[in-house]
């Protein structure tokens, strides 16, 4: 399958079209079973891209233990029903109360801390993009799968994809915690500017974490240097053809943090 790339012996990346960009499902294999990271945009996506790959490599239904939902957005949680149909015993891992309510008759695990599943995979809370955002840290390879948790400068596209952070204080705190971790590789759900979807090596990881903070710091500086401008005007000053478009809602969130 052209959309499939092996990241290493344990993790496989499946790229799935979504609007003017793409989304990603990661297949994480362990000795205790398989974890599927995210559920793409629809049941059709899962049935067309993910299930054929699992069948191709000989993964049976009882071997798939978890679907991990990085956050409850349509391009990451849209195909949960297809997973539940294909894998009747699968457990949903989510930090989102709405998803727990929606699937209250199914097996749902809401982690409270850095719980470990399947022996090797640690759940890492990384709020910022959303309050429920979280990733998976593979302790074997020191790889952190982040979904949309790390926005960098955002994604080029027709939407407002840039540094789309709804809770900046929590995001700054989460980045500080990631800086203290032993991370050798980052895997993102989209092609985030300027470093792409994959960062390998401690320096590249450090650069990516700094790239999550820098655009937000730039916006904060614009707010301070242009007190006469509203949030839409600040966003317009920030935006340029050379980087993804930042929405005014990000300015609003940062301004609230600065006032607080």
**73 and 130 Cβ atoms separated by less than 8 Å:** yes
Of the candidates 162, 167, 196, 175, the residue with the CA atom closest to the CA atom of residue 124: 175
Q: Per-residue confidence at 158, pLDDT binned at 50, 70, 90?
A: low
- The strand pairing partners of 15, in sequence order, are 24
The total number of structural domains in the chain stands at: 1
Mean pLDDT throughout 6-34?
94
Confidence of residue 128 (pLDDT cuts 50, 70, 90): very high
Per-residue pLDDT at 209 exceeds 60: yes
Using the predicted structure, report yes or no on whether residue 1 has a pLDDT greater than 70.
no
Q: What is the CATH number of the domain that holds 67?
A: 3.60.15.10
- DSSP state at residue 150: -
Mean pLDDT along residues 181-190: 97
- The answer, yes or no, to whether residue 247 has pLDDT greater than 60, is yes
Phi, then psi, of 237 in degrees rounded to 5:
-65, -40
Q: Is 103 exposed, middle or buried (0-12, 13-18, 19+ CB in 10 A)?
A: middle
Report which DSSP code applies to 130. S
pLDDT in tens, 56-68: 999 999 999 999 9
- Identify whether 166 is part of a domain: yes
**Region 183-211 average pLDDT:** 96
Please provide the average confidence, as pLDDT, over all residues in the chain. 94
Q: What are phi and psi of 117, to 5 degrees?
A: -125, 155
- pLDDT tens for each residue of 141-155: 999 999 999 999 999
242 vs 205, higher pLDDT = 205
Domain holding 23, by residue range, is 4-213
Nearest to 114 by CA among 99, 95, 140: 95
* Domain assignment of residue 233, yes or no: no
Residue linked to tokens 């899962």: 46
Residue 149, CB half-sphere, CA atoms under 13 Å: how many? 31
Inside any domain, residue 27: yes
Q: Report the percentage of the chain scoring pLDDT > 70.
A: 98
Which DSSP symbol is given to 139? T
What are 222-233's pLDDT values in tens digits?
999 999 999 999
Of 187, 200, 197, which Cα lies nearest the Cα of 37? 187
Average pLDDT over residues 89-97: 95
Predicted confidence band at 19 (pLDDT cuts at 50, 70, 90)? confident
| pTM across the whole model | 0.94
Contacts of 19 (CB under 8 A, 6+ apart): 75, 157, 158, 159
Structural domain includes residue 53: yes
- Cα 145 from Cα 187, distance rounded (Å): 5
Closest CA to 11 of 133, 134, 144, 114: 144
Whole-number Å distance between alpha carbons of 127 and 130: 6
pLDDT score at 18: 87
Q: Per-residue confidence at 161, pLDDT binned at 50, 70, 90?
A: low
Q: What pLDDT shows up at residue 159?
A: 59
20 has pLDDT over 90: no
Identify whether 78 is part of a domain.
yes
């Amino acid at each position: 399958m052209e959309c499939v790339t092996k990241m290493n012996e344990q993790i496989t990346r499946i790229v799935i079209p979504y609007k003017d960009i793409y989304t990603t499902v990661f297949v994480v294999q362990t000795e205790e079973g398989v974890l599927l990271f995210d559920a793409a945009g629809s049941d059709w996506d899962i049935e067309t891209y993910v299930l054929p790959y699992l069948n191709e490599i000989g993964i049976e239904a009882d071997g798939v233990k978890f679907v991990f939902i990085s956050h409850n957005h349509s391009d990451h949680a849209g195909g949960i029903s297809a997973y539940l149909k294909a894998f009747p015993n699968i457990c949903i891992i989510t930090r989102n109360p709405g998803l727990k309510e929606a699937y209250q008759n199914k097996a749902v695990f809401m982690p409270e801390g850095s719980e470990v599943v399947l022996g090797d995979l640690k759940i890492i809370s990384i709020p910022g993009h959303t309050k429920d955002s979280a990733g998976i840290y593979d302790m074997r390879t020191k790889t952190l799968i982040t979904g949309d948790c790390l926005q960098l400068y955002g994604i080029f596209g027709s939407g407002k994809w840039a540094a789309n952070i709804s809770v900046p204080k929590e995001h700054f705190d989460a980045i500080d915690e990631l800086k203290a971790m032993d991370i050798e590789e980052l895997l993102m759900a989209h092609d985030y500017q300027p470093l792409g979807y994959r960062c390998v090596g401690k320096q590249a990881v450090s650069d990516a974490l700094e790239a999550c903070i820098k655009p937000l710091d730039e916006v904060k500086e614009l707010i301070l240097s242009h007190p006469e401008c509203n949030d839409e005007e600040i966003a317009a000053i920030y935006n340029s053809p050379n980087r993804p478009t930042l929405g005014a809602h990000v300015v609003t969130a940062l301004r609230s943090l600065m006032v607080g």
